[in-house]
Amino acid sequence: MGELEQAVLETLWDSAGPASGRQVHERLADRDLAYTTVMTVLDRLVAKDVVARERDGRAFRYAPRRSRAAMTADLMHEALQGTGADRDQALVSFVGEASADDLAALRRALADLT
């Protein structure tokens, strides 16, 4: 996913509920993007099935199909799938570079699974 697509998705995750294209554009005002650019990105995210679009009168509202946590987990799984025989080493490297907070969260998650 591109940087602009990620920024639009982050905006949707931070929204209280489905957001219109205009609302997304306004929340990205510091990027000085054209409204049509934001709408193009939203259309691409809909086509990729990352974002859901629902009609609201004459306009549409957009919402992420999956939570931030679920999409992050998907990315991590995809990355691990590509490591082949080095999967163990990739996990060791990841954990070796994790912050103390991340390690504590990982320990809690593993404890919850057992």
In this prediction the pTM is 0.78
Residues in contact with 23: Cβ distance below 8 Å, sequence separation at least 6, in sequence order: 15
Shared-domain flag, residues 79 and 27: no
- Distance set, CA 36 to CA 31, 43, 113 (Å): 14, 10, 45
Shared-domain flag, residues 49 and 78: no
Number of domains in the chain: 2
- Domain span at residue 79 reads 68-112
Per-residue pLDDT reduced to its tens digit, 19-53: 999 999 999 999 999 999 999 999 999 999 999 99
When the pLDDT of each residue in the chain is averaged and rounded to a whole number, the result is 92
Shared-domain flag, residues 80 and 60: no
Better-predicted residue by pLDDT, 1 or 109:
109
Indicate if the pLDDT at residue 82 is higher than 80: no
Tell me the C-alpha distance between 57 and 51, whole Å.
19
- pLDDT for residue 81: 84
Shared-domain flag, residues 60 and 15: yes
Q: Which of 25, 41, 64 is the last residue of a domain?
A: 64
What CATH number does residue 24 fall under? 1.10.10.10
